[in-house]
Amino acid sequence: MSETTTNNKSNVTTGKPRYGGAAFAAPTGSTLPTDAATALDQAFVGLGYISEDGLTNNGERSSNNIKAWGGDIVLSPQTEKTDTFTVTFIEALNPEVLKIVHGDDNVTGSVAAGLTVNVNSQELPEKAWVFDMVMNGGVLKRVVIPSGKVTNVSEVVYNDEEAVGYECEITAYPDSEGNTHYEHFIKP
C-alpha cells in the first residue's frame, strides 16, 4: 500500500497562529502571495491578536432536489456556494482593527493623540485578506482571500472578565479564476 492510502497520524494537525502575526488585510488589487512562505506585500497591515477561537471557515453548498414522478430524487443541482470566514479581533485599541470594523474613512487619529471612530451605515469595502498559521511538524499554511468583505460584526461585550473583541464574518467573493480563496502549504 502507498502512504496515501494508509492511515498516517503525521497528517493529523492543529492550526496555530504564525509567530509575529496571523491576520492581515490590504486593499483589493494588492499583490497577493502565491505560496505559504513569501513575505507579504507592504500593502498588508497586521490586525494583531485574534481570540483563542482562531479562524473558522464555512464553505456551505446548497442544492435543489429535483424529483421524478413517484418521489425519487434524480438530480441535485447546486444553487448556491458561500465561503465565509469568522474571526474575532481582540486588539480593540488597534486603529487598523477599528478600520476593519467601521471602515477606513471612519477612523482617525491614534490612541495617544486622540482617536475618533464614526459609527454609521457606510458600506464596508472589499479587502484582500491573509491568514497565516503553523500546522503540526512546522508546516506553514496560508489562507489567501483575494476579495472579501466584512458582512457581519457580532455584538461587542464590555465587561471585566473578557477581552473586548470584534467578531467579524468575512464573505469571500470569486476572483477572475472563480476561486473564493486559496490555501498554500509548505514545510520549510
**Residue 1 pLDDT > 90, yes or no?**
no
Residues 145 and 84 sit within 8 Å (Cβ to Cβ): no
The predicted structure's pLDDT at residue 124: 96
Give the model's confidence band at 111: pLDDT under 50 very low, under 70 low, under 90 confident, else very high. very high
Average pLDDT taken over every residue of the chain: 94
As a whole number, mean pLDDT of residues 131-145 equals 96
38: which DSSP letter?
S
**Residue 87 pLDDT > 70, yes or no?**
yes
53: which DSSP letter?
E
- Note the pLDDT tens digit of each residue in 51-75: 999 999 998 888 889 899 999 998 8
**Residue 118 pLDDT > 90, yes or no?**
yes
**Per-domain residue ranges for the chain?**
14-186
**Residue 140 pLDDT > 80, yes or no?**
yes
Identify which has the larger pLDDT, 17 or 4: 17
Residue 86, H or E segment: strand 84-89
Residues 146 and 32 sit within 8 Å (Cβ to Cβ): yes
